[in-house]
Chains A and B, each alone.
Chain A
Amino acid sequence: KAGVTQTPRYLIKTRGQQVTLSCSPISGHRSVSWYQQTPGQGLQFLFEYFSETQRNKGNFPGRFSGRQFSNSRSEMNVSTLELGDSALYLCASSLLASGFSSTDTQYFGPGTRLTVL
């Protein structure tokens, strides 16, 4: 079974631009979560989608948005990029659970490395 895939793997943008990242969950998984990982802050939760609806949201500005399609694939968009948005963006999928569950493990993709110049 294929794992979580994310595209592109690397991206370079300039300040003020916008970017869209894509995540394809494991087949059959309906929950997709997005995270930002930086050396200083570690891993931080952005939002979670289930059945095309955002179920949970972390503490990020409105420039960060996402959506989920009927096939469970998800996209994340960041508008008006800032230097501080440079990070590894990770997506994780799980079968059903909202939040975290010991019976429904989240599987992470390899991430998209975004560099903002």
Chain B
Amino acid sequence: GESVGLHLPTLSVQEGDNSIINCAYSNSASDYFIWYKQESGKGPQFIIDIRSNMDKRQGQRVTVLLNKTVKHLSLQIAATQPGDSAVYFCAEISGGYQKVTFGIGTKLQVIP
């Protein structure tokens, strides 16, 4: 399949372990944040989002944590599976939900 990014930071985890992917954002006034998953040869897929008035949000096997003090966002994936192998990137939205800035992404490799 196609490579989304040739020089991305890579996180390798054992199947069944938990994964933590980090993202530093730039705008302290950002209102809303989204995590995306992009598999090889496919477009990005929405995973989970969080508003700036929250510090934690949980989905199915995924949790997003927001630390506004240090402008840091993390995505935690519980019991990582081979199907979780992909590039993950964050997006910060500001300007009344109009302006979006995407992170470069992290490549997650799951070792069976």
**A and B held together in a complex:** yes
How many chain B residues touch A (Cβ–Cβ < 8 Å)? 29
Q: Is B21 an interface residue (CB 8 A)?
A: no
Contact between A109 and B98, CB atoms less than 8 A apart: no
Q: Is A44 an interface residue (CB 8 A)?
A: yes
Q: Is the interface of B mostly helix, strand, loop or mixed?
A: loop
A39–B2 Cα distance when bound, in Å, is: 12
**Chain A interface: which size bin?**
20 to 34
A99–B92 Cα distance when bound, in Å, is: 12
Contact between A88 and B2, CB atoms less than 8 A apart: yes
Contact between B51 and A42, CB atoms less than 8 A apart: no
A66–B96 Cα distance when bound, in Å, is: 23
Q: Which of A74-105 contact B (CB under 8 A)?
A: 88, 90, 92, 98-102, 105
* Residues of B close to A102: CB separation below 8 A: 32, 49, 51
Question: Smallest Cβ distance from A62 to chain B, in angstroms?
Answer: 20
Contact between B42 and A43, CB atoms less than 8 A apart: no
Question: Smallest Cβ distance from A51 to chain B, in angstroms?
Answer: 17
Contact between A92 and B43, CB atoms less than 8 A apart: yes
Q: Which stretch (B62-70, B78-86, B102-110) binds chain A?
A: B102-110
* Residues of B close to A106: CB separation below 8 A: 46
Nearest-CB residue, chain A, relative to B103? A42
Q: Is B9 an interface residue (CB 8 A)?
A: no
- Chain A residues engaging chain B, CB cutoff 8 angstroms: 4, 37, 39-40, 42-45, 56, 88, 90, 92, 98-102, 105-111, 113
- Given A42-B103, A100-B34, 8 other A-B residues pairs in contact with their CB atoms under 8 A: A42-B105, A90-B44, A92-B43, A99-B97, A99-B98, A99-B99, A108-B44, A111-B43
